[in-house]
Structure 1
Amino acid sequence: MQLKNFQLSAVKSLFEAMDKPARDIILKSPTGSGKTIILTYFMHQYVQSYRNTVFVWLTPGKGNLEEQSKAKMDKYIHAAQTKLLSDVMSGGFEENDNCFINWEKLTKKGNNALKDSERTNFLEHIEHALNAGLHFIVVVDESHQNNTVKADEIIQYFHTDKIIRCSATPKGIKNAEIIEIPEADVIAEGLIKKMLIINENFPQRVEMENATNYLLEQAYSKQRKIRAEFLSAGKDINPLIVVQIPNKSEKLQDDVERWFETQGVTYENGQLAVWLSDMRENLEGIEEINAPSVAVIIKQAVATGWDCPRAAILVKLRDNMDETFEIQTIGRIRRMPEAHHYGKDLLDSCYLYTFDEKFTAGVKLSLGKGALEAATLFLKNEYKGIILTSEQRTMVTDHRNPKKALLSVAKYFEEKFKTSTNKAENKARLQTAGFEFSADILRHTLSGETATLDFASTDMNTVVITEKLNTHDHGHMYHQKVGKIGMEIGMEYSYMNTIIRKLFDRNFTYSRKILAMEPREVYAFVINNADLLRHTVRDAMAAELEQLTLDINQVSKVPFRIPQSCLFTYDGTAKTQLEMKKNVYQGYLSSAEVRSSSERKFEKFCEKCDAVEWVYKNGDKGNEYLSIVYADNSDKQKNFYPDYIISVNGEVWIVETKGGFDRSGNSQDIDIFTPKKFAVLKNYLNRYDLKGGIVRYDEKSEELCICMDSYSEDINSDSWVVLSDILK
């Protein structure tokens, strides 16, 4: 199973959270982010690193979620040891178990799981496991639905010191360690739609005879357009409209059914479905991307556990509902039908139609910049002839090349620590750099007196505790440390272990071997230097390594033209709504979203600069935008989408904006790949005889500065010049 970058990052954060004092860990992940895959991968890695562990995964009662979750773990983690409640009741808990249990079978009156019977009851199984030295870790799925006294009582039986609570809409728990998966990361990987569009192109004043009919007309028209676009691309994907109606609203249900009947969409021909507590029609196979149903009528039944990636449009005809549930419903239309974007705004967005002002406000509050006003803008005629060359990967892969990663780490050690073929000299250099070479396992604690709980500010003594290495006892710890190092760069344990062994173990041959240690010594070296190795390996992937070739064979060059139209999203509540006249699109506003601070400053600068004739804001994903292909030092291919294409005195410039420098000259850029992107951009500009560079804001001078020739992280160096001095 190949996890996405953000999923690996979440697994890494879960491991780190397990080492922190907080009992509760909250995993807040957007619907569609692959929460089950993240957690099951983490669970599998964890039981291999820590002995005597049992995971108990608790799910809400609706929809047999525990069976779905177990099935996913069985599918993706072939060596996993999974159980349901019935398996626990017959065989008890064992080391490395992953037990999936439905809450309601434990908390509802009348269940048999907690009653005495001829079998050992559930609580006795827990007691036997604890007496055998097993350690429980509890995972609470859809935790917002199970924050009850009875649920907490069940959790207490396990005597766990770690509870992982996961939800798209978690409720506050004091002193919890929070891991939040940014929606932007999930969107960037193509798993969920780029944007939620609310009431697209609605006029300022809407005049209609019937509000329900008006909303259904808009939704059905959009469904027809999306369907046609899919068919023209050779894809048989039938987008689904989800119509949400209030409880006890038979008349409204009749109105919806009658309107669809006028369009030839009926229960009889299979194009209309309904999912209500007392009525279910045409639901079998509705999740299939080419299912015949065009619309489904729901109330609350589709809140949890329903996964229908073709759902793209929500018509909200409901009032006064709990906001948490509302956001869950929005999540149902955000998944991508094939888990990737298509490079077309029409297909990569989802749509909400409603006159419910309170609901609209709630959605905006929850999704932030993910829910915006939108309008279709058209390209001005004078810019339709602009042609550049875009580079695209012809063979998309997220896999790293372990051989290139090994070479990169070896070269990085050579450049940073000056290692060579002399093993004795290498050891001395690494010791000087802070690496520990004890044959024992070292642990650190504090000793002394303190009047406050802020240990860092007191004169406490650091005490080093040594423990004799035992490869059997410390094998799990070694696995855990190597796994964490691998997670830092998205590398599987087996590959990362091979890299470590080739660099440091005498029994593995490699021309650039750094040290030649015995296997026992490698165990101690990795365990004692895990953090230093982790940071070194991560930095090696982004470093500029002169002798490392990064030739990318799988690149196609295609003509790039500015798209004829764009779905323009903006913040309708912003105080200023000025039209940016130099933008290539008619009606482009200063309140454009989503924009970083650097992008905003750059757009305002261009609007006022006489030398700039026109500005195009490039997209950040999709074949319709200008892209340049590059690779990190493990040959992992990436698409780089420069932020802006502008015209300066008749010449085309390509500009990437990044985080600025504070008043002390410290960098605020969080992208460790910026130097590499600069080299890639400069190479592209040279090949096509264009100009450009990277623009960053300097707080001290309050000026935008550009780097065009050689990259530097020092704003005071000659590499950076004031942008207004260049664009004259």
Structure 2
Amino acid sequence: MIVLRKYQEAAVAALVNDTYSLMKLPGARLKMVLKAPTGAGKTIIMAEYLNQLSEELPDKLDLPKRKVAYIWFAPNQLHLQSYLSLKDYFSELRSIKPIQFEDITDGQLKPNEILFVNWQSVNKESNLYIKENEQGKDLVRFVHNSMLKDIEIICILDEAHYHADGKKAKELLQKIHAKIEIDVSATPLSPGYTGYGHVIRRQDVIEEGMIKKNVVLNPALDHHKQEGRPLNQILMDEALAKRKELAEAYEALGVKINPLLLIQLPNETKTESVLDKEIIDEVKTYLEVKGLTTSNGKLAIWLSNEKTNLDGLEANDGFAEVLLFKQAISLGWDCPRAGVLLIFREIQQEHFGIQTVGRILRMPEQKHYTNPILNNGYVYTNLSRDIVKIVQEDMDYIVQNKAVRKAMYEQLTLNSYFINTRLTRNRLSSKFRKCMYEAAEQKFGLTRNLEDTKGEVIDAYNRKRLAENVIELDVASIEIPIPKDLELVIVEGATQVTQMERFAKTTGELDILFRQFCRNHVGAYAKADSTPVMELALKMLFEDYLLMDEFAAIKVILYPQNQGKFVELIDVALEKHEQLLKQKAAMASKKVETVSWDVPKEKLYNEHYNERPSDNHVMEPFYEYKSASTPERQFVNFLEKNDAYIAWWYKNGDKNKEDFAVTYVDHERITRGFYVDFVIKLKNGLLCLFDTKTLDSDKNFVAKHNALHQYILDNSSNEKPMIGGIIVPKGAGDAQVWKYCRNKISSATDTTGWVSFEPSTEKPQKP
């Protein structure tokens, strides 16, 4: 079973809700958008969206029409890839039936069928899919036949920016005249977009470990460093070396992943030019010298006239180390082990963005690793740095600023701690029934304990308690009103809405209303997963406390005068469930992973950092966060002034597994990671761990200092002496000093007994 990530669940919920909103509106070709960055799993999102619609639509009595068929348009062969993905997804669920053109029966699309269509197959008037013919087998006619049976059509425009904006595509979409058109893309067209749909933030996808944290763009090396070698050879050497480095990093972690280097050739024309052939021959010859050939399986080729060693290429442990290809395979091709991309481009193609490097964005195991080099993608190109222009939207993701650890650094091997803060699925758990029972006992005074009833039969006792709470139980003969349906009526060319009121008389109708009631009251939890849990909890409540069958229980709950009381009961149960989840999360957060930490060999910095001169920062060059706090900036100045006594210093990160952290218990009693600002090595061998703050600036000030103090006590030794703690500035200008406490503290405002940090005279801390 595929488990959706939190951002995927949010996207599905938004799309489903907006679909219902649009289906109530008059007119057609209503626009909706799913903007999802490459690697977010848009196909899975759309699959679950379709699944939820198929489950919920029959119960949506407030919709004018409740039957829907779908058409999925995609460019190149992406439609086939999506067809196979959804066919596999629905192989067990069977709520949606993926089909191709030849699978259409009875001259129409049927409810919950989804037809996959390749844009190139319908962009010509002469094509049989859209050409009117004697057999009546054309797409538009099939669609119109469906509409005559009150079946709404929803068109899904996958990667719409490639073809859906063309003249023929627009004409076809106009003929189909679907109720809703959903633009699914990283760069949606969204013509006439009215605010319906969902946007997935790239950072959410990164935090879930689905894609790389950054893409490192290494433009052509300075010509002064070429040393007479051809630029293409230098680039291949750099790319091959990076692939080898990644392979060694995976091996060191015991992970069976063979990273793939992609070499992309120019794609100026459909047929290979003389220049193309020259580059292909040059690349093949050079790779052969390096022992990478098609004959030994280490080189794969995907060109129009040559396809070699492609079987098993996408597998994480695939044998090929290099793939030579043209741009044509980029759309929809998924090979998560691809980690390095070498692009041979012409000078005029200088714009770089996510679309350019999308093939190396995915994480092979959908998680990040302790070695930071495995969490980035690497791009090499024959464009010089001054020519490269990064698309504005992607400037914080595609980075060119890299700092490298200085050679003089000697390993520290500190214990660092990482807490996985990934949240659990946003759905009601199996514990919700217990929460419902507790809420009912608290709110209504129900019980299952015979001692509480003073000899009275339990179900009779509980019935009295409900009656005291003004809950009507004798509703067996009462008909439950169904929410008013909407019916569209054409009167003199204008659309009017009339209302029809009906009553539920059958078990089936009551089941629909009960599902709707539960679905509408699961709070912020995912409706598809949580509704069945809510239904069961309410039914079992009546069975266990009142010996009442579910048909009678549903009537009691849905009876208009009772509904408000049960909504209040559900709210109490949801609050209890939320507290239960928080307690579970707090316990889970105490499962801390210990890692061995050193200053990273290299680190990447995006546009939010500026290069700043520094002689002693262990990473060269030093990049400072543009929004760094005033104490941080002042402390850097202090360190630079004392460079005569400092071997090196390092500005630590604040959230990643590769950043140094100790653990502390916050004011909510939850164990969290404390990312210490500065790691400093004095020339006398003393290691200093300091976090800069101003007094009383952090509600966890005391807890963090004491946790760091305890860490130093536990880890300091004669071979590795340490001092540190939270450090605060006193005074200003040349008179400014930095104070810290060598003991545990109890106040965030009282600095009595604190000492000044003096790099020239500092000595190890005594226990």
Is this a same-fold pair by TM over 0.5? yes
Residues 362, 12 of structure 1: alpha-carbon distance in 2 compared, 3 angstrom cutoff: farther
Question: How far did 1:353 drift?
Answer: 0.8
Matched letter for residue 73 of structure 2: L
The one-character-per-residue Cα deviations of 1:59-82 (angstroms, maximum 9, x if unpaired) are 224353353344343357444322
Q: Indicate the residue corresponding to 2:68 in structure 1.
A: 53
Matched letter for residue 498 of structure 1: V
1:386-465 equivalence runs, <5 A:
386-387=414-415, 390=418, 402-405=429-432, 419=443, 421=445, 440=481
Q: Indicate the residue corresponding to 1:39 in structure 2.
A: 46
Q: Is this contact kept in 2: 1:343–1:624, CA < 8 A?
A: no
Question: How far did 1:108 drift?
Answer: 3.2
Question: How far did 1:230 drift?
Answer: 1.8
The one-character-per-residue Cα deviations of 1:417-448 (angstroms, maximum 9, x if unpaired) are x846377699799xxxxxxxx96566899xxx
The one-character-per-residue Cα deviations of 1:526-569 (angstroms, maximum 9, x if unpaired) are 999999999998877765999x5767479655545532325322
Q: Indicate the residue corresponding to 1:713 in structure 2.
A: none
Of 156, 180, 201 in structure 2, the residue corresponding to residue 139 of structure 1 is 156
Q: Is this contact kept in 2: 1:469–1:524, CA < 8 A?
A: no
2:360 aligned with 1:345, yes or no?
A: no
Q: Indicate the residue corresponding to 1:458 in structure 2.
A: none
Gaps in structure 2 of 5+ consecutive residues: 58-65, 447-464, 472-478, 487-498, 681-685, 714-723, 729-745, 757-767
Separation (CA, whole Å) in 1 of partners of 2:748 and 2:501:
54
The one-character-per-residue Cα deviations of 1:442-462 (angstroms, maximum 9, x if unpaired) are 6899xxxxxxxxxxxxxxxxx
Q: Indicate the residue corresponding to 2:624 in structure 1.
A: 590
2:222 aligned with 1:222, yes or no?
A: no
Residues 278, 491 of structure 1: alpha-carbon distance in 2 compared, 3 angstrom cutoff: same
Residues 296, 497 of structure 1: alpha-carbon distance in 2 compared, 3 angstrom cutoff: same
Separation (CA, whole Å) in 2 of partners of 1:28 and 1:266:
40
1:515-554 equivalence runs, <5 A:
518-520=553-555, 522=557, 552=587
Matched letter for residue 57 of structure 1: W
Separation (CA, whole Å) in 2 of partners of 1:359 and 1:425:
79
Q: Indicate the residue corresponding to 2:412 in structure 1.
A: 384
Q: Indicate the residue corresponding to 2:313 in structure 1.
A: 286
1:95-106 equivalence runs, <5 A:
95-106=111-122
Question: How far did 1:279 drift?
Answer: 2.7
Question: How far did 1:332 drift?
Answer: 0.6
Q: Indicate the residue corresponding to 2:287 in structure 1.
A: 260
Q: Indicate the residue corresponding to 2:461 in structure 1.
A: none
Residues 204, 4 of structure 1: alpha-carbon distance in 2 compared, 3 angstrom cutoff: farther
Matched letter for residue 280 of structure 1: K
Instruction: Name the stretch that deviates more: 32-41 or 316-325.
Output: 316-325
Question: How far did 1:148 drift?
Answer: 1.8
Residues 490, 442 of structure 1: alpha-carbon distance in 2 compared, 3 angstrom cutoff: closer
For 2:34, what is the secondary structure of its paired residue? Answer: strand
Q: Indicate the residue corresponding to 1:190 in structure 2.
A: 209
For 2:524, what is the secondary structure of its paired residue? Answer: helix
Separation (CA, whole Å) in 1 of partners of 2:359 and 2:47:
22
TM-score between the two structures when normalised by the length of structure 1: 0.72
For 2:622, what is the secondary structure of its paired residue? Answer: coil
Residues 569, 78 of structure 1: alpha-carbon distance in 2 compared, 3 angstrom cutoff: same
Q: Is this contact kept in 2: 1:505–1:519, CA < 8 A?
A: no
Separation (CA, whole Å) in 2 of partners of 1:409 and 1:656:
45
Separation (CA, whole Å) in 1 of partners of 2:326 and 2:338:
16
Q: Indicate the residue corresponding to 2:525 in structure 1.
A: 489
Q: Indicate the residue corresponding to 1:3 in structure 2.
A: 4
For 1:292, what is the secondary structure of its paired residue? Answer: coil
Residues 392, 60 of structure 1: alpha-carbon distance in 2 compared, 3 angstrom cutoff: closer
Of 192, 198, 214 in structure 2, the residue corresponding to residue 179 of structure 1 is 198
Instruction: Name the stretch that deviates more: 684-693 or 52-61.
Output: 684-693
Separation (CA, whole Å) in 2 of partners of 1:688 and 1:517:
61
Residues 400, 42 of structure 1: alpha-carbon distance in 2 compared, 3 angstrom cutoff: closer
Q: Which has the larger radius of gyration?
A: 2
Q: Indicate the residue corresponding to 1:111 in structure 2.
A: 127
2:144 aligned with 1:127, yes or no?
A: yes
Residues 510, 619 of structure 1: alpha-carbon distance in 2 compared, 3 angstrom cutoff: farther
Of 179, 185, 209 in structure 2, the residue corresponding to residue 161 of structure 1 is 179
Question: How far did 1:573 drift?
Answer: 8.8
Q: What is the aligned length? A: 643
Q: Indicate the residue corresponding to 1:148 in structure 2.
A: 166
Separation (CA, whole Å) in 2 of partners of 1:86 and 1:325:
41
The one-character-per-residue Cα deviations of 1:80-126 (angstroms, maximum 9, x if unpaired) are 32222111156632222222222333333543233324365433322
Matched letter for residue 277 of structure 1: S
Residues 15, 566 of structure 1: alpha-carbon distance in 2 compared, 3 angstrom cutoff: farther
Instruction: Name the stretch that deviates more: 168-177 or 258-267.
Output: 168-177
2:619 aligned with 1:604, yes or no?
A: no
Separation (CA, whole Å) in 1 of partners of 2:312 and 2:594:
41
TM-score between the two structures when normalised by the length of structure 2: 0.68
Q: Percent identity?
A: 21
Separation (CA, whole Å) in 2 of partners of 1:439 and 1:692:
67
Q: Is this contact kept in 1: 2:403–2:619, CA < 8 A?
A: no
Matched letter for residue 230 of structure 1: Y
For 1:350, what is the secondary structure of its paired residue? Answer: strand
Gaps in structure 1 of 5+ consecutive residues: 430-437, 446-463, 661-673, 696-718
2:101 aligned with 1:85, yes or no?
A: yes
Matched letter for residue 384 of structure 1: L
Matched letter for residue 326 of structure 2: K
Question: How far did 1:180 drift?
Answer: 1.7
Separation (CA, whole Å) in 2 of partners of 1:144 and 1:323:
20
For 1:335, what is the secondary structure of its paired residue? Answer: coil
Matched letter for residue 44 of structure 2: I
Q: Indicate the residue corresponding to 2:719 in structure 1.
A: none
Separation (CA, whole Å) in 2 of partners of 1:352 and 1:206:
19
**RMSD over equivalenced CA pairs, Å:** 5.4
Q: Is this contact kept in 1: 2:614–2:622, CA < 8 A?
A: yes
Matched letter for residue 499 of structure 1: M
